[in-house]
Amino acid sequence: MTPTASPFDPLTLGPLRLRNRFIRAGANEGMVVDGAPSRALVKHHRDLAAGGVGLTTVAYGAVSEVGRTLPNQVWLRPEILPDLRVLADAVHSEGGAISYQLTHGGSFVTSLKVRGPTMSASSGFNKAGLLRGNLFQRAMTAEDMERVTQQFVEAARLCRHAGFDAIELHMGHGYLLNQFISPLSNRRRDAYGGSAENRARFPAAVLARVKEAVGRDMAVLAKINVADGVKGGATVEDAIVTGRALQAAGADMLVLSGGRNVESGWFMFGSNHDMDEMRKVLAASPITGLMLKWSQHGVPRIAFREMYFLEYSRRIRAAVDVPLGYLGGAKSLANAEQAVREGFDAVVMARALIHDPALVNKYREGSATQSGCTNCNRCVPYIYHPAGTWCVMSPPNDPDLNKIRAAG
């Protein structure tokens, strides 16, 4: 990275060359039909590619049916290959690259009833699954780990077959791989628990297997927490250990996020949820609404500030050599330029691009230097809406597009 590097410069990640360093973060879109991408999802990511992003990330592709956190999430399986191809082709037609975020919810399955205890790093009571009857979780065995690893590998191969350019393994926010990394979830006393090195062992092994399977053809990224943001959770020192383990496993980039959905969503977003908007959207789903209300108990009031993960991310940047994507409150061209100037290889955004999918082109053309996103977080509850997520300051999505499969 040179001092004159620009966020508009091309970026090479493994076998992938991006046209610029702007990445749309993986963030649940709520645009799914029968566990497959909808036409609304195709439009959403085509618009982002047309708007100038170098890489757009499709959120939460579950690697197994029981790995879905919400019922309206994609389950990656051969039957949906035609839908995945339509999605990838749409982004490519606009000159962009596309990544699928692969994950497994583990014990964090909040809207589906799973037969038997959910899987996690450790056994015990499952507070995340309480309101759906998933009361208990069990510690994964060596056989479980091998099966789940192979599910990640097969999902990555499916994405390669569909024409995707990259995959992102989700290791943050309280999902299964993060349940190993975080001491909030991992109380194991074997080689996969205890020290930060041990807690990163299984996620790093998953990445190494995925890299071996598809790394010649696709970039392999991982999303990690810079910290969990709550007492007893993973710290930035833990994140450095995780980052080094993933670097050794062959990661082409680490995307730096933070927080956990249940314990510290406010830390993740750098500001509080709008509970009035949540109640409005979830009026027909009282159980989910109750769960979200419960999750807000004791939450501190947080005032949004730009680049809110910068101090944590700087420490990780100083400790690892792997490419890093800065995420967390980058909402202006000046923010993006600062991130690149400080040695981050890409600028990763979600809410600013939900507000305006054409923001990158506007930055390039000089017609805008600042996102109009107010960080009100009222877009968040629309992952539960029949039309999918959108910015409440913009016209709503066409709900009919969210009723038809991408290849339908």
Catalytic residues: 175
What does each C-alpha distance from 291 to 29, 109, 110 come to in angstroms?
A: 20, 12, 8
As a whole number of angstroms, the distance between CA 344 and CA 313 comes to 9
Instruction: With CA atoms as reference, report the closest residue to 251 among 337, 345, 183.
Output: 345
Q: Which amino acid is at 100?
A: Y
Q: 241 with 345: CB under 8 angstroms?
A: no
Both tokens assigned to 22: 């702007």
As a whole number of angstroms, the distance between CA 400 and CA 404 comes to 7
Q: Which amino acid is at 148?
A: V
Q: Which residue has the tokens 């507000």?
A: 355
List Cβ neighbours of 304 (8 Å cut-off, separation of 6 or more).
270, 271, 329, 375
Both tokens assigned to 56: 């757009």
User: What does 7-65 look like in DSSP terms, one character per residue?
Assistant: TTS-EEETTEEESSSEEEPP-----EETTEEBHHHHHHHHHHHHTT-SEEEEEEEESSG
Q: Which amino acid is at 119?
A: M
3-state class (DSSP) for residue 359: helix
Strand 118-120 relative to strand 11-13: parallel, antiparallel, unpaired?
Answer: unpaired
